Amino acid sequence: MRAAVVRPSGALGVIEVPEPEPGPGQVLVEAEVIGAGYVDVMLSRGEYRGIPGPGSVPGVEVVGRVRAAGPGAPGDLVGRRVLAMPGFGGYAERVVVDADRVLPVEREADAAEAVGLGVNALVAETALYRAGVAAGEQVLVRGAGGGIGSLATQLASARGAEVTAVTSSAARGERLLELGASRIVDRTGSAVPDRTYDVIVDTVAGPDTGRYLRLLRDNGRHVMCGGVAGAPDEDLLAALLGDFHKSPTLLALSLNSLTPRELLRSWQEITALWTKGSLSPVLYRRLALTDAQQALELLERGTPFGKVVLVPR
């Protein structure tokens, strides 16, 4: 089968690799579509969970059919369409994944739509759930035009919150207003948010993190979901301790730590909102698996609005 492997130069190359076999508790999934996200850029650079960039295959999510089950994996999964989250290795025609890291895709929707929600919606929904976002609260989303951010904007709005979306152009801001944001802050200009927030959903991090945390109201919650601008600096701790009197909560969220039950709860909520029409996948572009390098370059430049998907055939 074909897979996109990180070459020593850091660029991806699509090559023939042996077909994987599901081990104990695993299933083999044949990809209809593969989700591409900034996490794959980090993986290809060797910045992700100790995975050594060169020689590895990026890709944390795939929608496709289960073709085989390994020893001890539920046989009734075979033939089912699922969202599979292998951790890495998804940029391939087929991938093995632990059976408890697959979620049902029962809607007969386009697979690209399902992966357009996928991991990004799970992060966004779980961030808002863990932060306990309530109707009427003020929520700020950083990285709002991205895969996670565009869904966090919709999901916070569906919870009845008032959403401020931080983005990088007027055109992206227009789209975020259509997705439910109430106001836009253009991070490329001199504008800074002029109000305070109950919850911040942060996919950006970087040295500005402390500045954003200081915008929290009493008992506010800042959920760190990603870091496209790198790690926060020491100002974050200064902001947390300096605002001690407001009892801020700083939460870090990785899907890797979620139990199968937590993943299923979140996915059921996402699917229900999708079916109701309160949540829509935001697809930016479909590319062939052979163009996986182009997908990473787009993500690295921050160009996409929403999700990039790869099609293996």
Ligand X SMILES: NC(=O)c1ccc[n+]([C@@H]2O[C@H](COP(=O)([O-])OP(=O)(O)OC[C@H]3O[C@@H](n4cnc5c(N)ncnc54)[C@H](OP(=O)(O)O)[C@@H]3O)[C@@H](O)[C@H]2O)c1
Question: In whole angstroms, how close is the CB of 100 to ligand X at the nearest point?
Answer: 16
| Site of tokens 């044949």 | 30
* Stretch binding ligand X (CB under 6 A), from 21-29, 35-43, 67-75, 260-268: 35-43
Does residue 168 bind ligand X (CB under 6 A)?
yes
Residue 303 CB contacts under 8 Å (≥ 6 apart), including other chains: none
| 203 is an interface residue for ligand X by CB under 6 A | yes
Report if residue 180 touches ligand X, rule: CB under 6 A.
Answer: no
Report the 10 Å Cβ neighbour count for 142.
31
Residue 225 is a binding residue for ligand X (CB under 6 A):
yes
Based on C-alpha coordinates, what's the Rg of the chain? Answer: 19
- Site size for ligand X, by CB under 6 A? 31
Q: Which of 64, 304, 309, 310 binds ligand X (CB under 6 A)?
A: 304
Return the SS3 of 192: coil
Indicate whether 111 belongs to the interface with ligand X (CB under 6 A). Answer: no
Length of the chain counted residue by residue: 313
Report DSSP state, residue 19: P
Of 154, 157, 164, 167, the residue at the interface with ligand X (CB under 6 A) is 167
Does position 118 bind ligand X by CB under 6 A?
Answer: no
| Backbone angles phi and psi of 3, in degrees to 5 | -145, 155
Report the alpha-carbon distance of residue 147 to residue 159 in Å, rounded: 19
Distances in Å between the Cα of 22 and the Cα atoms of 91, 103, 160, 214, 234 are 17, 17, 43, 48, 44
If the CB atoms of residues 156 and 299 are measured against ligand X, the closer one turns out to be: 299
Binder to ligand X among 59, 86, 90, 143 (CB under 6 A)?
Answer: 143
Q: Which is nearer to ligand X, 31 or 144 (CB)?
A: 144
State the residues that interact with ligand X by CB under 6 A. 37-39, 42, 119-120, 123, 143-149, 167-168, 172, 187, 203-204, 225-229, 253-255, 299, 302, 304
